[in-house]
Amino acid sequence: LVTDEIEAINDRIEKEIKTIFPAAKIYLEAENTES
């Protein structure tokens, strides 16, 4: 079923965003303090 695949993809994307976003935020804050 297509909906199950979409749900699985959405779950994966959400998990990736939750791990990537905080790291990106920390990186951007570090960049701002350097300059």
- What confidence score (pLDDT) does residue 34 get? 79
What does the H/E/C string look like for 1-35? CHHHHHHHHHHHHHHHHHHHHHHHHHHHHHHHHHC
The C-alpha angle 21, 24, 27, rounded to 5 degrees, equals 155
Q: In this predicted model, what pLDDT tens digit does every residue of 1-35 receive, in sequence order? A: 799 999 999 999 999 999 999 999 999 999 988 76
Q: Where are the domains of the chain?
A: 1-35
